[in-house]
Amino acid sequence: MSEDLIDLDGGQTRMEAAYGSDDGDEDLFAITAKREASVGAIFEQNYRPWDGDFGPRWVRNYAIFRHHVFGLFSSKGHRNYNPFIRLTILVIFIGAISPIAMLFFSSLFGAEPDGFIDKMWGVNRSNLWGQVLGYFPRNLCYWPLLTALVVGGMISDDRRNGTSAIYFSRPVTRVDYTMMKYLSVAVVLGFVIIFSYMLYYTLAIVFKGEGWGFLIDTLPMFLAGLLCSILLVITYTSIGLALSSISQSRFFSAIAFLSIIYGTKLVALLIDLQFETSILYILSPYDCLAHFGQWMLGLELNYSHSLSLSVVSLILMNLVSILVLVSRVSSLEVTRE
Amino acid sequence: MSDDIKVPSVLVENVSKWYGQVIGINDVSLAIEGGVTGILGPNGAGKSTLFKLLMGRIKPNQGSVKLFGIDPWEDTSPYRRIGYVSESERLYDWMTGQDFVSTLARLHGMTRNEADSRAEHVLEFVGLYDVRHKEIGKYSKGMRQRVKIAHALVHDPDLIILDEPLHGCDPIARTSIMNVIKELGNQGKTVLVSSHILEEIERITEQIVILHNGRLLALGNIYAIRDLLDKHPHRIMITTEEPRKLANAFIGEEPIYGVRFPEEGKLEIQTNDLSAAHSVLPRVIVESEVKVSRIDNPDDNLESLLEYLIGG
């Protein structure tokens, strides 16, 4: 730290001091505050108009999208995700790609084809289905928790804090606002669910050194699984955002989402165990997806009710959720500030 | 059709808005174009409701709101030309002032470079350039108000709506923000500013809108409105050592119709024509040879005007 030393003889400043000791008394200097502090400053309020052109609609929409998605990685101009949420998403992603590690080790140690490791983690109908729609751990722990964390405050935070006004006082339509929120959630979920699925399939081929024949054999299964994973992302995003739009609390929307996913499953399971009918599984978003996925991948169906009921239920769930979301946002009055 | 027809920046026609049983705005109509206009009224008068209606945050139950001739609830394009500072809008506290303003600039469609450069300029304009890389959460109340003004100005709007921009600011921040508002008005922008601190509005503008219980009480120049209040005479307060002698001199003068002695050493003269009264004032004082130390117009200010209008 530097202080200005001002010569008392210079006449610029005066300091009354008691010369009670000899140390330093002979030096006619005093440490004072910087002289600039007493000078003061007037800043010029010179407003310069802006004559640039505003970008089109997609530029504005991209600004909303990046604000919500890039916040997972950086906070510069982005939505702030709690470090705990970031960490949890990372853990879920690592969990989702954990079969890749097993495939890697099996390739290192030269595991036998159709051996234990290959059956457990190799590319086959069951494992491709399980990579997205397997109940434990993915649909019990990973995907619902991931969705609840991402979607929790997506709209409810805006409603509670009045920050939706930040968007609505700009040339951002409510349709754009809703679409970009939807896309942001879908991309984050998609990054973990769909990307981990694609990574698993691709690296399985690479690690095992499979050829074109394997690719041709398994590609339809892979694409069926991919379609299921896209449906899962869409369904969870729709339900989650609809709940976020009717709530002013991120906690409520997250808990409500988990309740719907786990609650419907639990009730259907209890009814199934008691009365040996799987019909109530049509109320469970996960089971509708799992049912459809089993059919898509050519697996034996675990459900006794008709597949069409699950498909219709799935479509209705998505329609109702999107309807709730759109009607809530389009009529959203920002009365809270 | 002629293109010369000027569409007002703000056009509110017969607008009513109620929240359940509570009425927010009751059949208000007004048109505003150019310069600074103060929106006045006590708490609950409907100022914030009016602004929320303008900003498309809430929908009117009756009537229509148009900004630059367009209903903002139907079409958000007017918001390209509008900057809004709400009363207590939550900000993104984790962002720096620069990031915040730049991020919101991008919501208008600016590129990253344009947004950054423009954010720097408006932050400099409101006096936050030196602290632009500090997190908003660490800003003082005055700095937060100024960063809100900066984000409202970043896209160079033609209409700026400021809801209680001086609320919670220290005197230096108030002066700084008032200078900013005046400067924007001088540049030909339409600025609507609400406040319930009347002296502040008086320092910024003479153009006012007065709301009370959701109704529009008055609109226009403060002095013109005051002149229209016939049942409330203008008062001139004279501080003198000989109030009775001076009162005697005033009696009989044409514009003066009454005198009063409110306290020791004070003379209050009453008139319906303030400018005529002021024109005879010097002559009467000189002729009476009474020493006068001070002359005031105690009711020729916004506070009295509001009191007369609201209190009846």
Q: How confident is the model over B211-233, as pLDDT tens digits? A: 888 999 888 888 888 777 766 77
Q: What pLDDT band is residue A323 in, cutting at 50, 70 and 90?
A: very high
Which of A48, A80, A171 faces B108 most closely, judged by CB atoms? A171
Structure tokens at B121: 């300029």
**Which residues from chain A sit within 8 angstroms of residue B85, using beta carbons?**
none
Structure tokens at B216: 């529009």
Give SS3 for A78: coil
Residue A45 has a pLDDT of 65
Q: How far is B178 from chain A (nearest CA, A)?
A: 11
Chain B nearest-CA residue for A161: B90
* H or E stretch covering B21: none
Question: What DSSP assignment string belongs to A161-179?
Answer: HSTHHHHHTTT--HHHHHH
Amino acid in the structure at residue A49: P
Which of B103, B121, B179 faces A77 most closely, judged by CB atoms? B103
Residue A20 has a pLDDT of 39
Q: How far is A146 from chain B (nearest CA, A)?
A: 23
Indicate which of A54, A80, A170 best probes the interface with B, i.e. most B CBs within 10 Å of its own CB: A170
Decide if B156 and A59 are in contact by the 8 Å CB cutoff: no
The model scores a pTM over 0.90: no
Nearest to A179 by CA among A334, A329, A53: A329
For B97-119, the pLDDT digits (tens) are 999 999 999 999 999 999 999 99
Residue A160 has a pLDDT of 76
CATH (one of 3.40.50.300, 3.30.70.20, 3.30.70.1290, 3.40.50.2300) for B10-94+138-222: 3.40.50.300
Helix A250-275 vs helix A143-151: crossing angle, to nearest 10: 150
Residue A14 has a pLDDT of 40
Residue A209 has a pLDDT of 86
**Is B102's Cβ below 8 Å from some Cβ in A?**
yes
A93/A196 Cα distance (integer angstroms): 7
| Arithmetic mean of pLDDT, A145-156 | 92
Give, in degrees to the nearest 5, the angle at Cα B287 between B284 and B289: 110
Structure tokens at A264: 């419907």
Nearest-10 Cα torsion for B172, B174, B176, B182:
-150
Give, in degrees to the nearest 5, the angle at Cα B41 between B142 and B296: 90
Give SS3 for B50: helix
Which of B76, B100, B124 faces A172 most closely, judged by CB atoms? B76
User: Using CB atoms and an 8 Å cut-off, which of residues 140-179 of chain B contact chain A?
Assistant: 153, 155-156, 179
A253/A243 Cα distance (integer angstroms): 5
Count of CB atoms within 10 A of residue A198's CB? 15
Q: What pLDDT band is residue A22 in, cutting at 50, 70 and 90?
A: very low
Domain spanning B229-311 has what CATH number?
3.30.70.100
Residue B4 has a pLDDT of 53
A102/A153 Cα distance (integer angstroms): 36
Indicate which of B54, B106, B187 best probes the interface with A, i.e. most A CBs within 10 Å of its own CB: B106
Contacts 24+ apart (CB under 8 A), B216-222: B216/B28, B216/B29, B216/B30, B217/B41, B217/B309, B217/B310, B218/B305, B218/B309, B219/B30, B222/B302, B222/B305
Q: How far is A233 from chain B (nearest CA, A)?
A: 27
Number of H helices, E strands in chain B: 10, 13
B211/B23 Cα distance (integer angstroms): 13
- Residue B179 pLDDT > 60, yes or no? yes
Decide if B55 and A169 are in contact by the 8 Å CB cutoff: yes
Residues 6+ apart with CB under 8 A from A113: none
- Residue A158 pLDDT > 70, yes or no? yes
Decide if B92 and A165 are in contact by the 8 Å CB cutoff: no
**Is B89's Cβ below 8 Å from some Cβ in A?**
yes
**Which residues from chain A sit within 8 angstroms of residue B109, using beta carbons?**
54-57, 59-60, 63, 171
- Residue A29 pLDDT > 70, yes or no? no
For B151-178, the pLDDT digits (tens) are 999 999 999 999 888 887 778 778 888 8
Chain B nearest-CA residue for A54: B109
**Is B58's Cβ below 8 Å from some Cβ in A?**
yes
Indicate which of B61, B92, B120, B128 best probes the interface with A, i.e. most A CBs within 10 Å of its own CB: B92
| Domain positions in chain B | 10-94+138-222, 229-311
